[in-house]
């Protein structure tokens, strides 16, 4: 096979030659180095490589170029090589631009010029980027195709699963010419949604586990015993997986749907430390996932855990559909899900106009339409700001008298500055109607009922934990949240089924060696940063638990 390519673009001939020289010296045997001294020349080279079917491992672009700056260049190249590692070459004065590029093109790294000696300041960075590229499952964008109906809940579930797992796909309507041809090729009895895989295999109305395996996501554990099992792939679970694996624990993370949890559906998180310009939940989740894989954690997707059982010193979990794995310790990080809106008719339209969470795959389809959002917390505010970029009008329905008690100040200011967002206080949805999909909403505002035409409703009302599968094994409060640490000790009494002389650690449940982190834990702080912190803290307590066994 031809060598994969490293592309470097810099309009300063001296710098351009120096970059190419340093790259060839270290990587010339394994990679082909392609150098360009102008942005246009570089884009043309990348386009030709794409047409030839070459693999591009990394793209290094100078920030200050006359035709287009480095951020614009990387953004253009990203469309052709979404998996190539992106590195911006910048002077110290341009570090703000580099930080902005982290969000615009999901920049992987920026390098300050000059970088002498390269052995200390250049090669370690490129080594890390190439290693990350080698670990990435690179799936061709154009080859995975999904055919379905516009207002189909199963079609939406397939698209949402692929999008949240960052699997590129081409979406086609079954009544469009190309989609109809694919359906006809499968046969008259074709069941939608239809997924055509990269190998040309046809999957008719696939379940998540079948779809995950078909697109190359890991669904089968490599072994039957681990040091640590993390259940849930949100910020807390990803944080636990990163710290567990980086500290030498044989770690597996089990996720039922997609990495990121609720935070992964957020269009932009602006109050997370280290991202002054904000970062999308999907970007943050993908970076954390790659980081966990880098340290050797194993990630299982589309595997639902159905029970947890202590067997001696082992902690055993069972999967839906059969099979089980065991570990010395388990961290519960299953997070929460949005509560269903209790209004007549709405359950009939879930995935067909009614969506719980941001449903970012639907945003482009909202172009020039009016959308309705129910909720008053940050997730609802972030969705309102994001959808305002597509919709002609965004109606934010709030049950209380305002947003101040439940939403961050910075989001309230953004909402007030966008004229197409209208906040309706003391308002709630009382019903939904339509033929095959949502067409009308009944809304009560300050006691007055009205009916409006509406095809889009996004709901963000509170959260409830998915913990019923724990049965009587793990103690929970009346709302289903997992009780941990000091909250388990009531009036000096020992926790139910507690077998040790010591009291439970701060994040430990009533089962020794089983801990909880993030939103699933009772009285936890519902913020991304605190969830990540609890994931790291839980790993530290796992070490303490293992040391005393």
Which of 513, 521, 519, 512 has the alpha carbon at shortest distance from 484?
A: 521
Q: Residue 333's pLDDT band (boundaries 50, 70, 90)?
A: very high
Shared fold status for 5-135 and 225-337+511-547: no
Please give the pLDDT value at position 142.
47
- pLDDT at 337 > cutoff 90: no
- pLDDT at 228 > cutoff 60: yes
Gap between the Cα atoms of 249 and 243, Å rounded: 9
CATH topology of domain 225-337+511-547: FAD/NAD(P)-binding domain (3.50.50)
Looking at the DSSP bridge assignments, the partners of residue 160 are none
Q: What is the CA radius of gyration of the chain?
A: 25
Gap between the Cα atoms of 508 and 313, Å rounded: 15
Q: Residue 81's pLDDT band (boundaries 50, 70, 90)?
A: confident
Please give the pLDDT value at position 141.
45
- Condensed to tens digits (0 to 9), the pLDDT of residues 15-40 reads 899 999 999 999 999 999 999 999 88
Residue 229 near residue 240 (C-beta atoms within 8 A):
no
Give CB contacts under 8 A, 24+ apart, made by 121-125.
122/22, 123/22, 123/26, 125/87
Q: Per-domain residue ranges for the chain?
A: 5-135, 145-214, 225-337+511-547, 346-461
Residue 43 near residue 95 (C-beta atoms within 8 A):
no
Q: How many CB atoms lie within 10 A of CB 151?
A: 17
Please give the pLDDT value at position 98.
63
- Condensed to tens digits (0 to 9), the pLDDT of residues 496-542 reads 888 898 999 999 999 999 999 999 999 998 889 999 999 999 999 99
pTM for the complete prediction?
Answer: 0.75
Gap between the Cα atoms of 23 and 6, Å rounded: 8
Gap between the Cα atoms of 189 and 163, Å rounded: 27
212-234 burial code (b ≥16 CB/10 A, e <16): bebbebbbebeeeebbbbbbbbb
Q: How many CB atoms lie within 10 A of CB 5?
A: 20
Dig out the tokens for 404 from the structure.
């101040």
Please give the pLDDT value at position 51.
67
Residue whose structure tokens are 């086609």: 172
Please give the pLDDT value at position 140.
47
> May I ask the CATH class of domain 5-135?
alpha beta
- pLDDT at 387 > cutoff 80: yes
- The CATH number of 145-214 is 3.40.30.10
CA dihedral 18→22→24→29, nearest 10 degrees, is 180
pLDDT above 70: percentage of residues in the chain: 95
Q: How many CB atoms lie within 10 A of CB 245?
A: 25
- Condensed to tens digits (0 to 9), the pLDDT of residues 449-496 reads 999 999 999 999 978 898 999 999 999 999 999 999 999 987 667 888
- The CATH number of 346-461 is 3.50.50.60
Q: Is the C-alpha dihedral spanning 398, 387, 440, 345 positive or negative?
A: negative
Please give the pLDDT value at position 261.
81
Q: What is the mean pLDDT of residues 127-146?
A: 77
Q: What is the mean pLDDT of residues 50-54?
A: 76
Flag the least confident range among 203-207, 303-307, 356-360, 424-428: 356-360
Please give the pLDDT value at position 527.
87
Please give the pLDDT value at position 353.
95
- pLDDT at 358 > cutoff 80: no
For the residues of 238-298, what is the DSSP string, one character each? HHHHHHHHHTT--EEEEESS-TTTTGGG-S-B-SSTT-TT-B-HHHHHHHHHHHHHHTT-E
Please give the pLDDT value at position 104.
57
Q: Residue 99's pLDDT band (boundaries 50, 70, 90)?
A: low
What is the rounded average pLDDT for all residues in the chain?
Answer: 90
């Amino acid at each position: 096979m031809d060598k994969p390519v490293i592309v470097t673009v810099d309009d300063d001939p001296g710098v351009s030659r120096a970059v190419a020289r340093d790259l060839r010296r270290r990587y010339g045997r394994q990679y082909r180095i392609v150098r360009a001294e102008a942005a246009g020349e570089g884009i043309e080279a990348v386009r030709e490589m794409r047409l030839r079917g070459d693999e591009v491992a990394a793209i290094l672009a100078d920030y200050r170029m006359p035709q287009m700056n480095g951020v614009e260049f990387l953004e253009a190249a990203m469309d052709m090589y979404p998996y190539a590692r992106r590195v911006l070459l910048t002077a110290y004065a341009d570090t703000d631009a580099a930080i902005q590029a982290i969000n615009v093109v999901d920049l992987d790294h920026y390098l300050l010029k000059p970088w002498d000696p390269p052995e200390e300041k250049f090669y370690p960075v490129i080594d890390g980027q190439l290693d990350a590229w080698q670990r990435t499952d690179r799936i061709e964008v154009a080859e995975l195709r999904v055919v379905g109906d516009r207002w189909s809940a199963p079609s939406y579930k397939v698209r949402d699963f692929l999008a949240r797992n960052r699997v590129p796909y081409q979406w086609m309507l079954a009544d469009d010419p190309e989609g109809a041809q694919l359906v006809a090729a499968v046969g008259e009895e074709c069941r939608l949604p239809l997924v055509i895989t990269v190998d040309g295999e046809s999957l008719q109305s696939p379940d998540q586990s079948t779809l995950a395996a078909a697109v190359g996501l890991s669904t089968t554990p490599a072994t039957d015993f681990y040091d640590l099992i993390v259940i849930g792939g949100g910020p807390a679970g990803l944080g636990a997986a990163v710290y567990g694996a980086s500290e030498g624990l044989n770690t597996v993370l089990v996720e039922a749907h997609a990495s990121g949890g609720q935070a992964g559906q957020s269009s932009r998180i602006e109050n997370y430390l280290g991202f002054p310009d904000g970062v999308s939940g999907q970007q943050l989740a993908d970076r954390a996932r790659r980081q966990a894989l880098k340290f050797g954690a194993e990630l299982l997707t589309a595997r639902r855990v159905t029970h947890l059982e202590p067997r001696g010193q082992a902690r055993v979990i069972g999967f839906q559909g059969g099979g089980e794995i065991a570990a010395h310790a388990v961290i519960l990080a299953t997070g929460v899900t949005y509560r269903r809106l209790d209004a007549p008719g709405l359950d009939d339209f879930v995935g067909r106009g009614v969506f719980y969470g941001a449903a970012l795959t639907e945003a482009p389809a909202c172009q020039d339409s009016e959308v309705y959002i129910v909720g008053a917390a940050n997730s609802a505010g972030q969705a309102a700001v994001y959808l305002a970029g597509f919709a002609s009008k965004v109606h934010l329905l709030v049950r209380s008298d305002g947003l101040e008690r439940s939403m961050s100040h910075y989001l309230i200011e953004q909402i007030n500055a966008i004229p197409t967002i209208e906040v309706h206080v003391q308002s709630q949805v009382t019903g939904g109607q339509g033929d095959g999909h949502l067409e009308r909403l009944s809304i009560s505002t300050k006691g007055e009922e009205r009916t409006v035409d509406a095809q889009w409703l996004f709901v963000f009302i509170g959260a409830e934990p998915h913990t019923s599968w724990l049965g009587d094994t793990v103690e929970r409060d009346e709302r289903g949240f997992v009780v941990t640490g000091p909250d388990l000790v009531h009036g000096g009494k020992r926790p139910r089924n507690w077998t040790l002389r010591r009291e439970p650690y701060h994040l430990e449940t009533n089962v020794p060696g089983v801990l909880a982190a993030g939103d699933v834990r009772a009285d936890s702080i519902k913020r991304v940063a605190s969830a990540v912190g609890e994931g790291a803290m839980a790993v530290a307590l796992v070490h303490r638990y293992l040391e005393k066994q």
